Structure 1
Amino acid sequence: MDIDRQRLGEHSPCLLLNEISQGDSSIFSSATAPFLDKPLPFRVLPVPARCAAGAAPYLPGSDRSGAAALRTSAPDGDGDSAAEPPPGALGTSTGSGGLDPAEVLCCYGDAASAAAALRQLNSTVQYVPYCGALSPRSALQLVRQYDVVADCSDNVPTRYLVNDACVLAGKPLVSGSALRLEGQLVVYNYQGGPCYRCLFPKPPPPETVTNCADGGVLGVVPGIVGCIQALEVLKIVSGMGSSFSRFMLMFDAQEGRFRNIRLRPKRPDCAVCGDNPSVTCLQDYEAFCGSSATDKCRTLHLLSSKDRISVEEYKKLLDEQIPHVLLDVRPQVEVDICRLEHAVHIPLSKLEEKDEEYLKYLEKRICEEKQRTDGQTSFPVYVVCKLGNDSQKAVRILQELPDKAFGPVLARDIKGGLMSWASRIDPTFPQY
């Protein structure tokens, strides 16, 4: 790519430095972005999701996503920081003369392969992989070395951890998230604006949280959010300020719309940034949130053992042709992928809404199967989903319905769901 330097400076002040570097890496060899008065050496610290999704690919000298923090003071002359940061994040640092060398610290096990992939995309940057998860023990020490943090993590405990570390260290937090076809972006703890805890003082119940493993995300969506996230990071580090310290940006990819939602102001009684904070050091965030700091599918334990059966036990009653109803509570899109032919399909959302049409359909199927029994008091209804989490929620709903709805039923869930069925009973059953 042939770029006219004078025209670039006059007409393209906001081109992403990384895009330009792919065409002519010498243009920004001294990190002199056209909209800055002087070179801006900085450190970038991505705290990535499991697959490093977020701002990092759109920050200068990086082509992968993650959460980032920038330090505007130049590192030591050799391009390294005086103190080696602890493992647990993804980061880029610039030497005193320019955008490189860079350090990449990865929060996931494949740090080396991530660095190798980045090196193929931009060989002018030095990538040093570090393996390890961000933890309360290392987070505050790490965040204090940077000026801005961009959070692209994918689970609730890590978001509280990063927020509290930023508040205690006095650093702004550029937070991005994406799920399915929607994305959000907020800048927390910046210029008197609220922090994450101001908006969400208490974590949500673990069973109400949908992760990317269950809900999925269209890859373009975190790319778009990451671009805007990187823009806000660059605006903050260059002194231009952020547009989203008091507004939340909402992106709807389905409708192709962006909209801003005004945030509540900073809470005086906030546990970490309020007038009399109760959180003065980092804590056990997995215990606080009741869930693991991972986007991997979490195993819920909502029912007692008597309300659950294994896939082996269910296979046995199938072989013995014991009358029952199997209720599949997955979304329609998952049922279209694979299903057990004899299952009755009612999405969990319809059960939660107490949808009359679906409840009558279930009642009809139960009555049909009851005719095959000898008048047993409680008719068995077994509930299945993909992994055995939603099925537990559905059993709870069925247990709370009055007997007059279906007559007495014995609702139980199948542990591990259809993925357990595929791995332990029928290896030909599709896994997704």
Structure 2
Amino acid sequence: MRPITDIFLPACARLNPHPTYIPFRTQLSPQNAPDIFAQFDIILDCTDNPATRYLISDTAVVLGKPVVSASALRTEGQLMILNYPSRSPGDKSGGPCYRCVFPTPPPADSVTSCADGGILGPVVGVMGVMQALETIRVMITSMSEDGKPSTGAIVPSLHLFSAYSTPPFRTIRLRPRRQNCAACGTEPSISIESLKSGSMDYVQFCGSLNPVSSLMPNERLTARDYKIWLDSHSNNDKGILLDVRERIQYDICALPGSICVPISEVLRSSRSSEATNGELPAWVPSSIINTDTATPIHVVCRQGNDSQAAVKILKQLGLGQGGKRFIGDIQGGLDSWRRDVDPQFPDY
């Protein structure tokens, strides 16, 4: 699969051929973020998960870089300029960082990504244009020598956009830096050294709703192998296919005969009393309960991560009959199905 940077850059160049575009074909991490950010004057945060947002903000603070942060989900968006003006940690005249605004990350099960929740295209356009405008403001806004904002200077604010509200825009003034902030407070615990050493675990800090559970090779089928398996069995003998994507994604496209069991329901019940009272959770389809215990169960998701977690939970519930019934996932998920089996399958 091509890196998203290789898809993104040509599209940007078609829109505007004048800038120099530099691809970084790697995932952002605490170890590489300082070296990457050091090459730039302003950081634009376009990500959609809390762990990366905290990492971007922390790195920008220790390097003295402002951050223009924009996000969008469904029909709403928000925009902030963080760490502007950029000041040393403990300096009250500096702008608040992401940790100042959100000292505590949201519960993992309340976070919805763009891929899971969907997004209205024009909302992305609105937030992108506003983010570009705010970035230009940061570039041209000057500060007087005594550190006081000049006329028209930027006041730390949170801009909220809601496509279906009247009026659609609201602005909330942000509080100053928190003096006990771990990044920009008077006694910061986050530094370049702590980032590069890996002592700050952002995934653990934010929690993880969908951890990737590594299955054994004999618990997984490639998309090609699953297609061969389907072709070699009659319609009444194809087993059960569970699709653990959220309903909004399932309604876009799905493999014929699959059953939608959202991973959010699976994981939520696995942490609740349902998992310990001896009864099967409500999300378990009746087709699993009422069919022959030898009927295989295949699980699929978009990329092959959530499906692994679901397989683990299905087996923990005893649905594998002690190994007598096959329960496994389709490796690489529907992305692999589209790539290796059916190129016409929708890519959303």
TM-score relative to the length of structure 2? 0.64
Q: Which secondary structure state, in structure 2, belongs to the residue aligned with residue 315 of structure 1?
A: helix
The answer to whether the 8 Å contact 2:241/2:298 transfers is yes
2:289 to 347, 350, 367: 367
Cα 1:279–1:345 shift into 2, 3 Å: closer
Secondary structure of the residue aligned to 1:142 is coil
CA–CA distance in structure 1, aligned partners of residues 188 and 308 of structure 2: 38
Q: Deviations over 1:304-328 (max 9, x none)?
A: 2254333344335432455632112
Trace 1:346-385 onto structure 2 (pairs within 5 A): 346-354=261-269, 360=282, 362-370=284-292, 376=294, 380-385=296-301
Q: 1:251 is matched with which residue?
A: 161
Larger Rg: 1
Q: Deviations over 1:75-127 (max 9, x none)?
A: xxxxxxxxxxxxxxxxxxxxxxxxxxxxxxxx8776576345325xxxxxxx2
Distance 1:338 1:189, change over 3 A: closer
Counterpart AA for 2:304: G
Choose from 187, 193, 199 the match for 2:81.
Answer: 187
Structure with higher RCO (Cα < 8 A, 6+ apart): 2
Q: Which has the higher helix share?
A: 2
Does the C-alpha gap of structure 1 residues 198 and 328 become closer, same or farther in structure 2, counting only changes over 3 Å?
Answer: same
Aligned twin of 2:61: 167
Cα-to-partner distance string for 1:208-227 (whole Å, 9 max, x where unaligned):
97554555533321332244
Structure 1 residue 412 corresponds to structure 2 residue 328: yes
Q: CA offsets per residue over residues 271-310 of structure 1, 9 Å max, x none?
A: 321222233327359995469xxxxxxx973232254333
1:281 equivalent to 2:192? Answer yes
Quote the RMSD (CA, aligned, Å): 4.4
CA shift in 2, pair 1:223/1:320, >3 Å: closer
> Which whole-Å CA distance do the structure 1 matches of 2:282 and 2:229 have between them?
26
Once residues 109 and 6 of structure 2 are traced to their aligned partners in structure 1, the CA distance between those partners, rounded to angstroms, is 24
Report if aligned partners of 2:212, 2:309 keep a CA contact under 8 Å in 1: no
Name 1:151's counterpart in structure 2: 44
SS of aligned partner of 1:185: strand
What are the ranges of 5 or more consecutive residues in structure 2 without an aligned counterpart?
Answer: 85-92, 143-149, 205-209, 275-279
Q: How many residues align?
A: 296
**Corresponding position of 1:302:** 213
Alpha-carbon spacing, 1:271–1:111, altered in 2? closer, same or farther (3 Å): same
Aligned residue number for residue 178 of structure 1: 72
CA contact (8 A) 2:43 2:65 kept: no
Aligned residues of 1:150 and 1:229 also touching (Cα < 8 A):
no
Structure 1 residues 71-110: aligned runs within 5 Å: none
* Cα 1:202/1:310, change in 2 over 3 Å: farther
Q: What is the rounded CA distance, in whole Å, between the counterparts of 2:187 and 2:316 in structure 1?
A: 42
- Residue 399 of structure 1: how far off its partner (Å): 4.2
Q: CA deviation at 1:424?
A: 2.5
Partner SS state of residue 341, structure 1: coil
**Tell me, what secondary structure is at the counterpart of 1:186?**
strand
Q: Which residue of 1 aligns with 2:12?
A: 114
Equivalent residues in 2 for 1:118-137, closer than 5 Å: 118=16, 127-133=18-24, 135-137=33-35
Q: 1:315 to 1:109 in 2, by over 3 A?
A: closer
Deviation string for 1:238-276 (max 9, x for gaps)?
632334x2x533323244644456767634343321222
Query: What's the secondary structure of 1:183's corresponding residue?
Result: strand
Identity over the aligned pairs, expressed in percent?
A: 39
After TM superposition, list the pairs within 5 Å mapping 1:215-364 onto structure 2.
215-230=117-132, 232-233=134-135, 237=141, 239=150, 240-243=152-155, 245=156, 247-255=157-165, 257-259=168-170, 266-281=177-192, 283-284=195-196, 288-289=201-202, 301-305=212-216, 306-318=218-230, 319-320=232-233, 324-354=239-269, 360=282, 362-364=284-286
Q: Superposition pairs for residues 44-63 of structure 1, below 5 Å?
A: none
Change (3 A) 1:400 1:183: farther
Instruction: Describe the shift of the 1:115–1:235 C-alpha distance in structure 2 as closer, same or farther (beyond 3 A).
Output: closer
Distance 2:283 2:12 in 1: 50
